[in-house]
Structure 1
Amino acid sequence: MKMKRIGMLVLALTFAMVIPFSSAFAASENDTSENGKSAGVYIIRANGDVVSPAGAGEWDNLGTHYTSSSENPSDYVHSGGGDFKYKVVSGPSGGAYYQLREYDPDNGDDIITDPNGYSWFYLYPGDEIVYRGISSAVDGSNNKAEFYVMESFSGSARVNYWD
């Protein structure tokens, strides 16, 4: 009887581990951005694995910039909101945690999260991350968001931005 309970516990834990970790970051089907696409955060792995499809669209390349390990950096890009993405061009080969932030010179910078409240994502060089429906980050007199990427390690990486 005791062995049967232990076996059931092991089986339950095995099934719990089978569920992909990345599914925790998936947006629900009911979340949509202004353009009708699913709102949320999507990771596209450099090895070709797509955690969730990003869909077709026109992207404006905003160039390659350095990440920051502190708040209030000088290397940020302007965005009109809506959809935004970045690709890790260079960084630790074993991957690292990255977070998208919106620069605010007058107070603490805003942290951009997915619909579940996650903000740090583990990415490898070559990985892309797409944020859908983040127009709420637009602020200030220029009616733009000033985005930058913060990394979790001491040093810096390079990321390419698209709006």
Structure 2
Amino acid sequence: MKSKKFKMFFMVLLACLVIPSAASANDVVFGVEDPQYAGDGSWTQVGTPSYVTLYTDGTDAFSKTYFSTGGDFRVCMSGVDRSTNTYRIVLYEDDSTQANAVASGFVTGNSCGIFRNLNAQVDGTNGKAEFYVKFDAADYYDSSVTVRAYD
């Protein structure tokens, strides 16, 4: 009986390793279901990079605002000095009168967060959502983090 359970466990593990995923190894996905790429089904960088500092004292840091067509939105951080530095990212949709927190989650080190199913955030005359990211609750201070956004 143990041999059968071990074989089943091994087969499931092997399937998880072999079947490709839409997210890369360093992606943390926030949301549900399958990705909804805009255009040709691949990530396209939007805007120019932001540069933020990760704080441990409760201070918030913010990226610049990026435009999105909805669907899925990916935020990637690089330049994080410690691979074990875990911090929270909060995606906001910025309207002219107020900003609304859409989703949040924790990432570690140089990684990406994917926010899914964001079609409801698209508004305004340009037909796009205006997103920015708040960074807080870092384990370690880091003054040199680059943020890139993809739609």
TM norm structure 2:
0.57
50-59 vs 89-98, greater mean Cα deviation: 50-59
Quote the residue 2:102 is aligned against.
112
Once the two structures are superposed, residues 67-93 of structure 1 have per-residue CA deviations (whole angstroms, 9 ceiling, x without a partner) of 5836xx682111111111111113462
Matched-pair contact (CA < 8 Å) for 1:99–1:149: yes
Q: 1:76 to 1:66 in 2, by over 3 A?
A: farther
Alignment of 1:1-163 (within 5 A): 45-46=25-26, 57-62=41-46, 63-67=48-52, 69=60, 75-91=64-80, 93=82, 94-107=85-98, 109-113=99-103, 119=104, 121-153=105-137, 157-163=145-151
Q: Report the alpha carbon displacement of residue 96 of structure 1 after superposing the two structures with TM.
A: 1.0
**Which structure features the higher share of strand residues?**
2
Q: 1:102 to 1:89 in 2, by over 3 A?
A: same
Q: 1:61 to 1:49 in 2, by over 3 A?
A: closer
In the alignment of these two chains, the number of paired residues is 112
RMSD over aligned Cα atoms: 3.6
Moved over 3 A (4+): 42-46, 48-57, 153-157
Q: 1:140 to 1:66 in 2, by over 3 A?
A: farther
Matched-pair contact (CA < 8 Å) for 1:67–1:150: no
Q: Report the alpha carbon displacement of residue 132 of structure 1 after superposing the two structures with TM.
A: 2.1
Matched-pair contact (CA < 8 Å) for 1:67–1:157: yes
Where does the alignment leave 5 or more consecutive residues of structure 1 unmatched?
A: 1-41, 114-118
Where 1:96 maps in the other structure, the secondary structure is strand
Give aligned-pair identity as a percent: 25
